[in-house]
Structure 1
């Protein structure tokens, strides 16, 4: 079977290397606008299955052209191209696993078209959204009445330095987007939008992480797919102490605004200016990072208050030579892709992981992630909250 990977960045390269190991896949085409990225990807993959192709990926027609002979594609593209890739996959009748989870309502409007094309599109198939989504969904499934689900995730440096105690693993543009976008959540059974950088709470993880802080961020598709199954649902993003306070000050002063202002007779976008200023200050002493995940679901089971929780603390992967965030983002997508090709996932339409990886599929999927080095730990005894 032929798989196309769209994008040869850090995540795309990780995806290519992993899927090239799957026996079901006979050909992997990595497509990017930059030959330099493709060359680096080919060198990393070291597989005769992998072939590179430069192409524009700016339009639906561009992407459809490279998907025309593929069985499945994995999109490792910027947020701005996610919807374009989905439309191209439908046109090409090509299954698609997409790492981006934003704009779910727009994407879901295309679900009927995907069904008619006989394909499945899995959006938000990374760590958050992704792993956090199906953990929350499974916790809800295990309860008779679900009161609250909290999805907590953060990518943080192993060796943090001041002043922000953070370093960029992917694109600062995406990080600031997370910081400025209202946070979709479920409150008392209704979808709400919470102001960005609100809901500050303290949280602790096992050493060497220790004390951290978290704020509300976007719950993505789960705000829609789990609305009728849980009374309250939130996503929280983790950083080291002090980071959120400083970012909130920048936001309050207008440095994260996207509306242009005049400076020295020229229009500038404050957020773009801030990205330029901050980028060199967010390069740490090493690229070693840590990914932390905790998902807690509370409710009632057989009349007893009960909590289910899962935790992941993952470190830079020295064996693969990749960041933890690259690993935990890429590998769920590769497993989902393999399951589609194997027929273990046979639905059609637009189906996020929380609709797919529950009940009988849940533990096998978690076991496969564990075998690949993503160790998700479950609090083995259901905890009474009485």
Structure 2
């Protein structure tokens, strides 16, 4: 793997290029060149990713494609990657998109690794790592939150990444294992309060965060769930908008309202919290992982926590495939990725 095409030159896509250009020949592609007022050290192509002929012509020149596009654009990109026999990586949280990519990857002679962001992605790698010392597992509880450090207003939130992606997670049903049974549960349910280092948060069910983990751990655990961390009060207001005002049927309107009301902030924080309970040597024990990631300076610029954690996650998986640490073809589950190997990559070390 030498030549990599990155689709979507937003903040995350641009940073993926910055991180990968140390080891690969990188080209970025977007419908318009980035509007940032600083130079990039990799090539850029302007073009419409929905133009199949244009994409086929350009993608054939690369060994791998990394999609930082909205989830609804990824199916066609994955189809072209299969046709052209090139490695495919993305950040999607959308369950149906991932299921489709997994199905077509059965024919692949290259790697297909969707869901390489934070959740799904890094949180699944962490959760699986916590499970390893246990002979029998009872509970796996995974929590992630990307939040403003200094919240204001009743929503106490800022859209530091795709509003479409956030709304998709809030509306679609989520998968979980409860009382040993794999099932679908309603997003925005399961509200709980958690205390992290003296700070109070709420967490509630959202779609997509577990990736393929329910399939992997079905029959092995009593409880497996994923919840999104927010400041207290957020869930109640989102229920009001989505369920009572029935804006779940007006996604474009809801997106426009929230983008206008809660624009991105520079000072954000990403919380990653995982808990596994089970038995070691016939003793019931609890293992925890907690980190709070803040904005970080990379390549002379300061990047939001959500941007660099997401970009570094997928960049680390790309490194592991290139280094032969992961299978060289077929579908890769995030929970199959070794956390220590992830941390040993150049981009994985950013998480330390």
TM-score, normalising length from structure 1? 0.84
1:287 CA drift (Å): 1.8
Superposition pairs for residues 320-331 of structure 1, below 5 Å?
320-331=301-312
Instruction: Name the residue aligned to 1:52.
Output: 44
Task: Kindly state the Cα deviation for residue 145 of structure 1 after the two structures are TM-superposed.
Answer: 1.0
Aligned position for 1:341: 322
The superposition leaves residues 253-274 of structure 1 with CA deviations (integer Å, 9 ceiling, x where unpaired) of: 134221xxxxxxxxxx3x3223
Q: Structure 2 vs 1, CA of residues 64 and 151 (structure 1 numbering), >3 Å: closer, same or farther?
A: farther
Asked if the contact 1:197/1:216 (under 8 Å) is kept, the reply is yes
- State the 1:370 CA deviation: 7.8
Q: Are 1:15 and 2:13 an aligned pair?
A: no
Equivalent residues of 1:64, 1:91 under 8 A apart = no
1:378 aligned partner: none
Contact 1:155–1:325 (8 Å) recurs in 2:
yes
SS at match of 2:306: helix
Q: Tell me, what secondary structure is at the counterpart of 2:215?
A: helix
**For the Cα contact (< 8 Å) 1:156–1:166, is it kept in 2?**
yes
**1:217 corresponding residue in structure 2:** 206
1:111 aligns with 2:105: yes
- How many residue pairs get aligned? The number is 345
Is the contact made by 1:331 and 1:369 (CA closer than 8 Å) also made in structure 2?
Answer: no
1:139 is displaced (CA, Å) by 2.2
Cα 1:16–1:230 shift into 2, 3 Å: same
Contact 2:312–2:348 (Cα < 8 Å) also in 1: no
TM-aligned CA deviation for residue 132 of structure 1 = 0.6
How far apart in 1 are the matches of 2:193 and 2:293?
20
SS at match of 2:44: strand
Aligned to 2:63: 71
- Preserved CA contact (<8 Å) 2:121 2:211: no
Larger Rg: 1
Structure 1 distance, partners of 2:171, 2:51, is: 27
Query: Cα–Cα, structure 1 residues 85 and 370, in superposed 2: closer, same or farther, change >3 Å?
Result: closer
Q: Which residue is 1:380 aligned to?
A: none
How far did residue 369 of structure 1 move?
Answer: 6.7
Structure 2 contact 316–348 (Cα < 8 Å) conserved: no
CA contact (8 A) 1:182 1:193 kept: yes
Paired position in structure 1 for 2:313: 332
Q: Deviations over 1:346-370 (max 9, x none)?
A: 3421112212x13xxx313124478
Q: Which residue of 2 aligns with 1:384?
A: none
> Shift in Å at residue 149 of structure 1?
0.6
Q: Structure 1 residues 6 and 193, CA, compared in 2 at 3 Å: closer, same or farther? A: same
- Kindly report which structure 2 residues correspond to 1:1-386, keeping only aligned pairs within 5 A, or say none: 1-22=2-23, 25=24, 27-35=25-33, 37=34, 40=36, 43-45=38-40, 47=41, 50-58=42-50, 61-102=53-94, 103=96, 104-114=98-108, 118-206=109-197, 210-218=199-207, 219-258=210-249, 269=250, 271-283=251-263, 286-319=265-298, 320-355=301-336, 357-358=337-338, 362-368=339-345, 372-375=349-352
Distance in structure 2 (CA, Å) of the matches to 1:6 and 1:228: 38
Unaligned runs of 5+ in 2: none
CA distance in 2, matches of 1:89, 1:109: 14
Q: 1:28 to 1:299 in 2, by over 3 A?
A: same
Query: How many Å separate the matches in 2 of 1:225 and 1:65?
Result: 37
5+ residue gaps, structure 1, are: 259-268, 376-386
State the distance in 1 between where 2:137 and 2:347 align: 27
User: The residue matched to 1:57 in structure 2 has which SS?
Assistant: coil
What is the TM-score normalised by the length of structure 2? 0.92
